[in-house]
Amino acid sequence: MIIEKARLKNATLNLEKTVITDSCLMFLANCDKMLNITTLDLSYCPNITDTGVHSLYASPLCRNINILKASGLPLVDISVVKFRK
């Protein structure tokens, strides 16, 4: 993937209105480049569930995410997922 080769620093990852799934979020949760992501936009991605978002939250590689945009997601229990800060 492109993110593996990118040189990111304090970057925004905008996945708004894409057809990604929880599998993609789990991949990102294990990608060391996510350490450089500070803002993540998952708005209007209809195939994402709270399980996928939780995998990002639980990952130490996603600890620098300060802003999570999640408008229009069909999440059941997003209240459990609170990003740091």
Residue ranges per domain, the chain? Answer: 8-75
- The domain 8-75 having CATH identifier 2.102.10.10: the answer here is no
- Residue 34, token pair as written in the block: 């996510």
What span, in angstroms and rounded, lies between the C-alpha atoms of 18 and 61?
22
Q: Which residues of 14-30 are buried (b: 16+ CB within 10 A; e: fewer)?
A: ebeebebebebbbebbe
8-64 tens-digit pLDDT: 678 899 999 999 999 999 999 999 889 999 999 999 999 998 889 999 999 999 999
The pTM of this model reads 0.78
